[in-house]
Structure 1
Amino acid sequence: MPNKLSSITKAEILEALDFIDHNGIPKDNEWNQYWIMYNRIPYPFKHSVHLASKFKIDFRSDHFYRTRISELGFNIQFKSEKGKDKAPKFWIGASYFGESPNHIPMLEDFIKNSYWATDHDFSSKTGKTIDKRLSQVSINDRIAIRFFSRKNSTIAIAALGTVKSIDEIHNGHLEVIWDYFPKLYNGPKPSGQGAGNWWNTFLEISRPEDIELIFDHEITNKRLSRLTWNLEHGYMSPSGRQGKSKDLKSHEGQFGYGHEEWLFDNAKLIDGYHYGFLEPVRKYQKFHTGKIYDVTFYTLDADSSIRYEVGEVYGLEVIDEQLADSIKQQYKTNGWLQEMEQQIIACGANDNGFSGFNGIDIFNVRYRPENLRINSPYKAIPKENAIYSAQRYTFIQDTSFSLNIEEEEEQFIFITPFPPSSNDGKDTNEDTGQPKRKKSFRKPKEVEIVYLHDAISIALTQKIRGIHQHQNVHPEHPAGYGQHRIDIVVNTNQGLVFYEIKTYPSILTAIREAFGQLMEYSYWSKHNRAVKIIIVTQIPITPKAKEYFNHLRDKFNLPLYYQSFDLSTGHLSEIT
């Protein structure tokens, strides 16, 4: 039977996956049963193949077609919609029935008939242990079949798969969809504390390094990390001594700044990554090197003792000394290191010795800007939270320190004010449990990355001129009243399109700041100047932001849209 997908190449699949990276997955394709796994990122199988074929091929996702794409070198995995949001467990199963030395090979039957099973008697001591472990298996857990050599203390993984059904689990039977083109480990068996007994018929593995070794699945650890205080500079440059520690034994107490104060300066990208520094990581650099974490950031104002949740980053990677030295040299070549030194001086801090720091003392982590989420505004942490007892600059893993601050938008209700005070006639409020602030205290706030705004404006203008011709694209266009200027105006056949660029680290702040300007430019005071008004930032749109724009258009019929622009690649996302 001819294969409809025989003309599709590996390069076309890779191009489709890159398109998804930049534009996301359409809502109708957000859930699939089969996923192409590439660089440990899942992509919906059918949507990816449709993109690769430029939507010219209509096909039904079945074993025949999945096999064809896997033959191009792509691992394809199954995932059931049942329990899709639950983190999987990872299991190792034997490849045989029976007892040694009379093992019966079962691998071929397991694969052919999509299952794994054991023939142990569950009334026996060993059988009871296996039965107890099987009772903990859930749909979408991952399972590997292994061969082993006791003599050489080695294992060979023969198959990887996903548990589809546990209906027959009481009979020692799991329905499994086996991976297409899996990466199979062959080598020394994991050993040491927590490795488990790999000679058992069925066991769970839980150490992150073992899961990564066997299943090529990266377990991202969650951590909490304190940042030095940074007032009104948004962690894009040092903010000065206010709110910093007064302890002269600490770096910030001695010099008046911390190396984390450039952590969100995402205008400085190298190969799509921003490089920064975390003091808690530096304390145990060798242990953390090469590991990846989801990190929630909080900070402390030493003047008021208030703790704030700043935001979080997903997939933060700890780098080694060699890469750190290379990044420092590139910063120096680009003039960025000198700029950082000048920023230290400008805020009144002491730059003594800054240029002499080793690379690893300035850069020890990296992340992709699209994985950064910043609270806008920062969220005050209630004083009863355990974080108030945390030791200074610890890379916290203990779940008892979880911040668990609810999203403000989910808890809006009208609060009836209390009766006016007899003393001052003003409304009084009950103690909410929130930490008290000094009257002179100012909340930290985000600031826009000005030079990133200018760079995007120039590059985006050129990009749009390539589409609409030079004479139809005018940057810094007069708004038609006062001295106001619109970032970019495009004259199209359908009418004028207004672009407003914002480069705040938070997508919510960027939208908030741009929205009012675009509304004013288009409609003040009784005009209807633009057929489209578009907010542009450096941040790929988030699901909530997409929902927000759809809601505004549905509710108010506003021609308001969003695009992100990647300055490092020149890629402009589709209008959302």
Structure 2
Amino acid sequence: MADVYKNELKDSDWNLLIDESQTYISETIDTYNDTIAYINSHRIRKSARICWNDYRWTRPSGFLGKSVTAQRSQAFIHERENGFAPEEWLFDLEKTIEGYHYARIEPVHIKTGKHINEKYDLIFYTFNSGISQWFWVGEIREVEVISKNESNRIYKEYKAKRWWNEQQLQLEELRKTDENSEHLNVKSFVDWDANDLFNIRFRPEDVKLFPELQPFSKNEKPPSNHYNLPDAGDKPAFLTPPKVGGLRFEEVDDDNDDNDNNENTTIIKRNYSVGLRELLNVHYDLQKAFIKYLKITYTEDKIGKECIRIGYNTRVDVVRQTA
């Protein structure tokens, strides 16, 4: 594309500008697409607490296991006060509109609306107050936070498809049949603001529910006790393979490693803030000298070098294995 400078605009016309713009777009579209793909592959990972549910978050399950925050707390928690929360339909994935499942979770409910239009990869966790245990639930990629107008539109779709009525009936049935849920407040669902009944959307294929709820390990702490959106941090302990102790021992080959003519001290280059520097690579010489010393001193033992630490993807320069 030819540059059109300010002082040349008077000699240009719209057709030329349009042609030049089209040329620029066609020449840079691959770079643009690569950039968007990179951004999408580096989304922010967040953690999100959701209320307890006994039915894998496909329908409400009643008061049992829900938050029992001390009554002296001034914070209003809907699940505690009313016996349910809209996020109990979070994984009712058969209900999709235009390829997306819509839901509401408390952690992105912020008055400022700062999360709207953001996309996150979320990992969910929950707390069962009945047994005082935290659990990991699952993950969803590319969760998009939607606007109030979009929530209102989806509410009308739910009404038209009678999904909203189905949810209301589930709550009414639960109140009638579950002895622990006789005080469940169905009216709070009926009166819920349509602009706030949904706040996220995602594609069902981006959901990864763990086969079983995974209890936190003894040393794990919840990312937050509150219904907010902290950074995800390290992976849950059960997703992190344990480190395996020990070394993969590689004994020194006398025919190769004791021969002084095998390898010479080399020059290596390093980039520093002051520029490129050449350094003597004395690692081999030191390693060879130390191995020689150990062999003379501990004649009955085996001496190894560059032994891999199993499970850590690192090496130990010199190892002495006692007889």
- With the length of structure 1 as denominator, give the TM-score of the two structures: 0.34
Q: Conserved in 2, the CA contact under 8 Å of 1:159 and 1:182?
A: no
- Using a 3 Å threshold, how does the CA distance of structure 1 residues 320 and 285 change in structure 2: closer, same or farther? farther
Distance 2:221 2:77 in 1: 23
Which of the pair has the greater relative contact order for Cα pairs under 8 Å at 6+ separation?
2
Asked whether 1:244 is paired with 2:79, we answer no
Checking the alignment, whether the CA contact within 8 Å between 1:337 and 1:355 is kept in structure 2 is: no
Deviations 1:349-378 (A, max 9, x none): 221231221234321001000000111111
* Mapped contact 2:125–2:135 kept (Cα < 8 A): yes
| Structure 2 residue 39 is matched with structure 1 residue 217 | yes
| Shift in Å, 1:258 | 1.1
Partner of 2:164: 337
SS of 1:293 mapped into structure 2: strand
Q: Is the 8 A contact 2:104 2:199 kept in 1?
A: yes
> What does residue 185 of structure 2 align with?
350
Whole-angstrom CA distance in 2 between matches of 1:229 and 1:398: 20
Given candidates 226, 229, 239, the residue that maps to 1:406 is 239
Deviations 1:204-244 (A, max 9, x none): xxxxxxx76xx88334110100110001x110100010000
**Equivalent runs, 1:325-474 vs 2, <5 Å:** 325-348=152-175, 349-387=184-222, 390-397=224-231, 399=233, 402-406=235-239
Partner in structure 1 of residue 307 of structure 2: none
Q: Which residue of 2 aligns with 1:295?
A: 122
After TM superposition, list the pairs within 5 Å mapping 1:238-317 onto structure 2: 238-247=60-69, 249-283=76-110, 286-317=113-144
Q: 8 Å contact 2:220–2:237 — kept in the other structure?
A: no
In 2, Cα distance between equivalents of 1:358 and 1:221: 29
Q: What amino acid is aligned across from residue 272 of structure 1 in structure 2?
A: G
Compute the displacement of 1:403 (Å).
2.2
Q: Judging changes above 3 Å, is the alpha-carbon distance between structure 1 residues 226 and 335 closer, same or farther for their aligned structure 2 residues?
A: same
Contact persistence 2:109–2:199 (CA under 8 A): yes
What is the aligned residue count? 212
| 2:171 aligned partner, one-letter code | I
CA distance in 2 between counterparts of 1:312 and 1:284 reads 25
1:180, CA displacement in angstroms?
A: 5.7
Structure possessing the higher radius of gyration over alpha carbons: 2
User: Cα deviation per residue 1:236-267 (whole Å; 9 max; x = unaligned)?
Assistant: 10001000012463111110011110000011
Secondary structure of the corresponding residue to residue 330 of structure 1: helix
Distance 1:342 1:361 in 2: 20
- The structural deviation recorded for 1:305 is 1.6
Provide the rounded CA distance (Å) in 1 between the counterparts of 2:172 and 2:29: 57
Distance in 2 separating the partners of 1:318 and 1:264: 16
Alpha carbons 1:229, 1:301 under 8 Å: kept: yes
Corresponding letter in the other structure for 1:391? N
Q: Where do 5+ consecutive residues of structure 2 fail to align?
A: 7-20, 176-183, 243-323
Q: Specify the alignment match of 1:229 in structure 2.
A: 52
Change beyond 3 A, Cα 1:216–1:322: farther
Query: Runs ≥4 in structure 1, deviation > 6 angstroms?
Result: none
